[in-house]
Structures are given as C-alpha cells and as structure tokens.
Amino acid sequence: MRVAMISMHTSPLQQPGIGDAGGMNVYILNVAIHLAKLGVTVDIYTRATRPSQGTVVQLQPNLRVINVVAGPYEGLSKEELCTQLTAFARGVLEFVRENHIDYDLVHSHYWLSGQVGWLIRDVWQVPLVHTAHTLAAVKNHHRSLTDTPESEARRICEQQLVDNANLLVVNTSEESNDLVHHYDAQPAKIRMMTPGTDTELFTPGTERNTERARRELGIPLCAKVVAFVGRLQEFKGPQVLIRATERLVARDPNRNLKVLICGGASGAGAALENYIGLVHELGLEHRVRFLDPRPPEELVEIYRAADIVAAPSYNESFGLVVIEAQASGTPVIAARVGGLPIVVADGETGILVDGHDPDDWADAIARMLDDDAMRLAMAEQAVTHAAQFSWQSSAAALVEIYREALADVSTPSGPRVG
C-alpha cells in the first residue's frame, strides 16, 4: 500500500509548540512512522519553509517528507495559506508525475490539506481519507470571549470535505458527534482511530530523575510545580492557569508554588509578550517562568519536574500533552471538554474542571497540591492508564481504515497516475 499524506500548513519536521506546529505534527509523524513499520509506504507532502531541507527528506525506510514550494518560504501566516492552495496542489502533482509514482490512497490532515486532497483524489481517481483535527464550528462554539473566531470560509471548506471525502477519521466519539451535529456528516462515513503516545520515551522518572530535572531547570526541590505545555493562544487557556495562580497566591502568599509555561505563541493576535504582560500585571514574576518549546526527549523532563500538568483548553480533539504527562507519571488537571474526558480518568489519574473560571481552577490545583497521598496515587494510576494508548495500535487501526476505503466501490473509477 502506498499513501500520499497531505499536511500543507505544518511540517512533521517542525518543532511542536512553535508557530502552527503542535499536536497535529506529533500525530502525523508518529502515525506515519508506525505505518511505515507495518510496511505501508508513506510520503508526507508539506509546504517548504526553508530551502536548506531540500525537496525530499528520507526519515526511515518507507517514509519520506516531500517539501513542496508554494509561495515564499517565510512570511505567510496560516490564514494566508489558502492563497497558495493551487500552487501547492500543482507542486504535488508535478512531483508525482516527474517521479512516476502510483498512490493507492490520499490521507489529508486539516482543512487546507483537505482541499488539496479533494482535488488530487479526483485527478488520481483514488480514495480520500480526511482527518480534520480541529473544526471551525467547534472552535467558535467553545472559544473564549476574547479569542479570534474562525472564518465562515473555513467552515464552508470543511463542509465540502465532510460531504466529499470517502471516509472521515476522528479521534473520539465526541469528535464524531461534532461532525454530525455541526456538519450533518453521515455517521456511516466516520471511523475512529485513537491517537497514542511514545510509551518508551514518556516514562515516569525516579526520584533522582525528578531532582535532576528540577536542578537543570533551576526549580527548588521543595517547591510545588504546575506545568503548562502547548502553544500560547487563548484557545489553549494559558491565561486561565496564570489567573488561577494569582488566586492561589492571594489566598496564601506563603504557598511555595512555581508555574512553568512551555510553548511558543501561535494564532492571530497571539504573542508571548501578552502572557508575560499578564504575569507582570498580576505580580507573578517570581512564580511563573516561560520556557521555549523543546523536542520530546527534553519535554519529558518538564513532565517529570512537575507535580501537576494543567490543560485548561477550551476544546481538544484528543489532548496528546495530557497522555504524555500521564505516561511520564504526572497527574493532570484538565478542562472537561472535547476528548479530554476520555484521556483523563477523573478522580483516578487527574481532575476534570467544568468551565474556565480561575477560581475553580485554583480550587482544583490546591486540592491536588495539598493532598500528597491523593496526588501520588493518581501519578501511579496515570502510568497504567496511559499505557493503553500506543502509536502502534493507532497505525494498525488506520491500516484497516485504509483497506476499507480501498474496497469502497463508490471510489471514482478511471485512470491511475503513474
């Protein structure tokens, strides 16, 4: 089986937490790696953002990243990339034609890639499998009052993909319900594939590991530490954690609390300075530290250094950070939204919070930090809970979805590329 995977707006080679790179990058890369191990040949097409990488990057046997030139390497925001859909699609078609490649199936990720996938599906006469990752209607429904709404143009494009893709892949039943409710999707076209985590990398550290992680980060060993990992945008909720921290300090100025916020600004109007400014405004300079995004092998040290990982998102299709944290032996406090209630066992591996009121978040954080026995029990159960999610099983499930799409007699018939 040979699959053309489309990830136009963000490359799996980019560092998650910077710009538009996030959980989707982790998802695409790890699924592709394990598909390749199962014998599926995968080419990931993405927009070139610098010339030094070259056109083809061979990651491992059966897996390549193809960098397609579409517009300038730098200077285009995600909101402007729709102007380059034609150029990107032409680049994909040209590469395939020049290299005489014959694909069995197209798998697109996110709506921009889906628009390209929809076109080349009809050119190549092969099935199109589409994964939305996030949806405009859902983001607008759950967004904070100050967050920038998603455009109606995006929602229309997503509706076209829901109507025209052969199969739609979702992470959770919640996401399936969103497609049906907001986009009138046919349930018969929806397939669920639960994402995973790297359980060999994200493992609980020993007491010595935790001490070393804290020393390297310059965190006192006696402090209680709450960490946020992700892109800095209103939708992810870092401002909720910052305001909850202010409430905790106001209640008990002597509380030995440190907060780590690891990630880069992302999205329209987002800027690191906004969050630094909020920290200064609330007088939390000595409580809150900002850390640059880092690769997984370093990110695990953040999880190990923390007593709690907070995920105050306004919606999450799944929540890879939450699974990574639990696999690393760190309990979580997460918003009761999207797929987070699936990946967090409420009261067993963490606490789910209704809404985004900073006082409610302060209550949950205090409850977990002040009850060492409960927190340590949750940490132990978190590892067992996370173990049921693996990229190997995710890839195996996706292979079956691909086979079903290939067997679909409704796939347009006609000449193949090559």
Residue 53 located in a structural domain: yes
Give yes or no: residues 147 and 238 share one domain: no
Q: Known binder of ligand: residue 239?
A: no
Give yes or no: residues 39 and 112 share one domain: yes
Beta bridge partners of 64: 43, 58
Q: Known binder of ligand: residue 246?
A: no
Question: Is the pLDDT confidence value at 9 over 50?
Answer: yes
Q: What's the rounded mean pLDDT across residues 162-186?
A: 95
Per-residue pLDDT band for 16 (boundaries 50, 70, 90) equals: low
Residue 365 located in a structural domain: yes
Per-residue pLDDT band for 417 (boundaries 50, 70, 90) equals: very low
Residue 201 located in a structural domain: no
pLDDT tens digits along 59-79:
999 999 999 999 998 878 888
pLDDT tens digits along 359-391:
999 999 999 999 999 999 999 999 999 998 889
The parent domain of residue 271 ranges over 207-386
Q: Known binder of ligand: residue 346?
A: no
Give yes or no: residues 350 and 399 share one domain: no
pLDDT tens digits along 265-322:
766 556 889 999 999 999 999 999 999 988 888 999 999 999 999 999 998 878 889 9
Residue 403 located in a structural domain: yes
- What pLDDT, on a 0 to 100 scale, did the predictor assign at position 14? 83
Spatial separation of the C-alpha atoms in residues 347 and 349, rounded to whole Å: 6
Give yes or no: residues 188 and 213 share one domain: no
- What pLDDT, on a 0 to 100 scale, did the predictor assign at position 316? 86
Report the CATH number at residue 311. Answer: 3.40.50.2000
Q: Known binder of ligand: residue 324?
A: yes
Q: Known binder of ligand: residue 17?
A: no
Q: Known binder of ligand: residue 306?
A: yes
Residue 378 located in a structural domain: yes
Q: Known binder of ligand: residue 30?
A: no
Question: Is the pLDDT confidence value at 106 over 50?
Answer: yes
Q: Tokens representing 269? A: 């109007």
Residue 413 located in a structural domain: no
Q: Known binder of ligand: residue 1?
A: no
Q: What is the 3-state secondary structure (H, E, C) of 37-93?
A: HCCCEEEEEEECCCHHHCCEEEEECCEEEEEECCCCCCCCCHHHHHHHHHHHHHHHH
Q: Known binder of ligand: residue 208?
A: no
Residue 36 located in a structural domain: yes
- What pLDDT, on a 0 to 100 scale, did the predictor assign at position 75? 77
Residue 418 located in a structural domain: no
Q: Known binder of ligand: residue 134?
A: yes
Give yes or no: residues 43 and 104 share one domain: yes
Give yes or no: residues 244 and 350 share one domain: yes
Q: What's the domain count of the chain? A: 2
Angle of helix 85-99 relative to helix 110-124, nearest 10 degrees, comes to 40
Give yes or no: residues 395 and 278 share one domain: no
Three-class DSSP category at 372:
helix
Q: Known binder of ligand: residue 16?
A: yes
Give yes or no: residues 246 and 365 share one domain: yes
- What pLDDT, on a 0 to 100 scale, did the predictor assign at position 280? 97
Give the percent of the chain with pLDDT over 70.
94
Q: Known binder of ligand: residue 78?
A: yes
Give yes or no: residues 18 and 96 share one domain: yes
Give yes or no: residues 25 and 174 share one domain: yes
Per-residue pLDDT band for 180 (boundaries 50, 70, 90) equals: very high
Q: Known binder of ligand: residue 245?
A: no
Which has the minimum average pLDDT: 114-118, 219-223, 356-360? Answer: 219-223
Give yes or no: residues 67 and 172 share one domain: yes
Q: What is the 3-state secondary structure (H, E, C) of 73-86?
A: CCCCCHHHHHHHHH
Q: Are strands 332-335 and 257-262 parallel, antiparallel or unpaired?
A: unpaired
Which has the minimum average pLDDT: 16-20, 142-146, 327-331? Answer: 16-20
- The alpha carbon of residue 151 and the mean position of all alpha carbons in its chain are separated, in whole angstroms, by 21
User: What value does the mean pLDDT of the chain take?
Assistant: 91
Nearest C-alpha neighbor of 220 from the set 169, 260, 167 = 260
Q: Known binder of ligand: residue 304?
A: yes
Q: Known binder of ligand: residue 254?
A: no
Question: Is the pLDDT confidence value at 414 over 60?
Answer: no
Give yes or no: residues 381 and 398 share one domain: no
Q: Known binder of ligand: residue 71?
A: no
Give the percent of the chain with pLDDT over 90.
74
Q: Known binder of ligand: residue 89?
A: no
- What pLDDT, on a 0 to 100 scale, did the predictor assign at position 416? 40
Q: Known binder of ligand: residue 195?
A: no
Per-residue pLDDT band for 339 (boundaries 50, 70, 90) equals: confident
